[in-house]
Amino acid sequence: MRSALVTADPYHRTMGLGHDDRWPAAGRALLAELFAARRPALISGLRPAAEALAQRLSVDLDLPTVALGATLAVRSDQPTGKDIELALDDATVLTRLDTVLWPDLGIDLLALLHQRARIMPIIAVWPGDIARGRATYSEPGRPDHFDRRVADLIVLRPARTTFPDDTPYTVERIAA
């Protein structure tokens, strides 16, 4: 007799995972956690892998996405905080955030992401690195250098997948 977990579908593995543990159910559970905890998720990793993960989240979970840098690039003047808020619209997935880290704008990107996460789930591709409890961007000595301790967020790191139902990321929760 076949186990209840064995399926005829060759894309579903039968390694003891229940149906609710497979992708995209794991993605929906992540969104529910982000909504309940009111904290953002930041994707950290090499840019191509991080952008690919953002795209997969957007497509598989049908999430609205904004590439902020491209959206703001059409402006002829320097964007204000209000302009950035309007550009984000109702997007859940945010990419190309480099522009907001430029010091002349005077925008605290992490504070902005935390503020938006109090209203709706937010998953953003961090343009630098997140390691050892710190978010960094650019190089020391450059005007756009950023280095700050992070708290109260979820870090998603792209993971290699073999099957379509493999969760495409690992999760690190950073407490408040």
Reported in sequence order, the residue ranges of the chain that DSSP labels E, i.e. its strands, are: 41-43, 65-67, 93-95, 123-125, 129-131, 134-137, 146-149, 153-158, 169-174
> Is residue 13 domain-resident?
no
> Is residue 144 domain-resident?
yes
Q: What is the pLDDT of residue 76?
A: 87
Q: What is the pLDDT of residue 2?
A: 36
> Is residue 12 domain-resident?
no
Q: What is the pLDDT of residue 13?
A: 36
> Is residue 2 domain-resident?
no
Number of domains in the chain: 1
Q: What is the pLDDT of residue 21?
A: 54
> Is residue 8 domain-resident?
no
> Is residue 149 domain-resident?
yes
Average pLDDT of the chain is: 88
Q: What is the pLDDT of residue 20?
A: 47
Tens place of pLDDT per residue across the chain (176 aa): 333 333 333 333 333 344 445 899 999 999 999 999 999 999 999 999 999 999 999 999 999 999 999 998 888 899 988 999 999 999 999 999 999 999 999 999 999 999 999 999 999 999 999 999 999 999 999 999 999 999 999 999 999 999 989 999 999 999 99
Question: 141: number of CA atoms within 13 Å, CB side?
Answer: 0
Q: What is the pLDDT of residue 15?
A: 38
> Is residue 6 domain-resident?
no
CA distance linking residue 30 with residue 32, whole number of Å:
5
> Is residue 75 domain-resident?
yes
Neighbours of 148 (CB within 10 A): 13
Domain housing 32: 22-174
